[in-house]
Amino acid sequence: MDKKSKVLLLLGGTSPEREVSKSTGKSVYQALLNLGYEVIVLDPGYGINQPFEVEDYFKEDDYSEILNENYLDAVNLISADQISVAFLALHGKYGEDGTIQSLLELKGIKYTGSKVLSSAIAMDKIMSKILFEDNKVPSPKWFHFQIGEHTTEEVDSKIENQFGYPAVVKPNDQGSTVGLTICKTSDQLDEAIHNAFEYSDRILVEEYIPGRELTVAVIDETALPVLEIRPKHGIYDYECKYTSGMSEYIVPAEIPADVSKELQEIAVQACKSLRCEVYSRVDFRLSPDNKVYTLEVNTLPGMTSLSLVPKMAKAVGITFEQLVEKIINLSLK
């Protein structure tokens, strides 16, 4: 891509992952400048009330009121002839679920990452599980329900009958473990359900898989080396993901070669099953007997200094700037 081309950097948004998105945006912004691009920054949560200074986009305190209805006004500030591509540094609802992607397509603006349908499916954990099963992608046992469908006692009975405790309770359409609870016993279930319903009207309940936390980045249908995450909390929760020193990362993961190959193959298959494009990250649990379980596919994985995809790319000699450039070039194909 011509180094004189303009890139629209979209960050922030209105999801619970807004602060993470700002961090991703700041890292990508610096990389784009280092690569020689001219960058226009836009926060769809602000609508027409965008900051005058670039630095204000990255500050913890918001510049103005953020609203879901501002997205359309924000996108209408830009036309396709002003930029070559939009780099999506958004995470969570409206940024990762096909919403912003559909608005950009209506404007004729090219953007990084997966298209509308695959973005929506990957963000919908229930739909992802259905497609995983159809494409023989192994994942934990599960069931789902919506608000008002079951009492806590009925959910408890389903857990006991299908896989037992511990069980994982999480909202259907959030990322970064937002709203997720691991219930060790039924005593924690009622609070876990109420917590998950704060973020979604549908809940996914999965069997808890003891073992190791692993992840694989897939770029242009090619899997990068497997990375193992060793969180301080025992689960890779929001704090461990975004607080320096709260997790240890090993890449390549110290696992048998055949298991590593299996994880990479399943990662590619998981992405294909959801029709993902350009780049994604697939999260796994590996049981003590080395059985692989697919958790989810992230179509817009984090791109901060602590993020996993840049660490895996670095393991094969790809710098952060080269990774950003590669994502742009693949998105323009």
For the stretch 183-227, pLDDT in tens is: 999 999 999 999 999 888 999 999 999 999 999 999 999 999 999
Task: Report if residue 122 sits inside a domain.
Answer: no
Q: Which of the following is catalytic: 213, 283, 307, 325?
A: 283
Concerning whether 283 is annotated as a catalytic residue, the answer is: yes
Percent of the chain with pLDDT over 70: 94
Residues 177 and 224 in one domain: no
Tell me, letter by letter, the H, E, C secondary structure of 131-190: HHHHCCCCCCCEEEEECCCCCHHHHHHHHHHHCCCCEEEEECCCCCCCCCEEECCHHHHH
Residues 172 and 225 in one domain: no
Q: Which of the following is catalytic: 296, 307, 325, 331?
A: 296
pTM to 2 decimal places? 0.91
Q: Which of the following is catalytic: 12, 15, 17, 173?
A: 17
Structural domains of the chain, count = 3
Summarize pLDDT for 62-100 with one digit per residue, the tens.
Answer: 999 999 999 999 999 999 999 999 999 999 889 999 999
Which of these three, 90, 111, 132, is where a domain ends?
A: 111
pLDDT at 304: 83
Best CA proximity match to 5, nearest among 82, 80, 75, 76: 82
- Asked whether the predicted pLDDT for residue 3 surpasses 60, the reply is no
Residues 234 and 311 in one domain: yes
Concerning whether 176 is annotated as a catalytic residue, the answer is: yes
Residues 33 and 104 in one domain: yes
Task: Report if residue 233 sits inside a domain.
Answer: yes
CATH number at residue 259: 3.30.470.20
In terms of C-beta distances under 8 Å and separation of at least 24 residues, what long-range contacts does 243-249 make, across chains too? 244/306, 249/308, 249/311
Concerning whether 254 is annotated as a catalytic residue, the answer is: no
Task: Report if residue 230 sits inside a domain.
Answer: yes
Task: Report if residue 116 sits inside a domain.
Answer: no
Residues 201 and 219 in one domain: no
Task: Report if residue 40 sits inside a domain.
Answer: yes
pLDDT at 239: 61
Residues 233 and 303 in one domain: yes
Distance CA 31, CA 323 (A): 9
Residues 10 and 76 in one domain: yes
Domain containing residue 181: 141-207
Q: CA 225, 228, 229: angle at the middle one, nearest 5?
A: 140
Concerning whether 17 is annotated as a catalytic residue, the answer is: yes
Task: Report if residue 224 sits inside a domain.
Answer: yes
Residues 171 and 217 in one domain: no
Residues 186 and 261 in one domain: no
Taking residue 234's Cβ as centre, other Cβ atoms within 10 Å add up to 11
Q: Which of the following is catalytic: 29, 111, 238, 242?
A: 242
Task: Report if residue 287 sits inside a domain.
Answer: yes
Q: Which of the following is catalytic: 281, 285, 293, 307?
A: 281
Residues 31 and 101 in one domain: yes
**Burial (Cβ within 10 Å: 0-12, 13-18, ≥19) of residue 323:** buried
Concerning whether 281 is annotated as a catalytic residue, the answer is: yes
Residues 249 and 285 in one domain: yes
Confidence of residue 4 (pLDDT cuts 50, 70, 90): low
- Asked whether the predicted pLDDT for residue 296 surpasses 80, the reply is yes
Concerning whether 175 is annotated as a catalytic residue, the answer is: no
Task: Report if residue 234 sits inside a domain.
Answer: yes
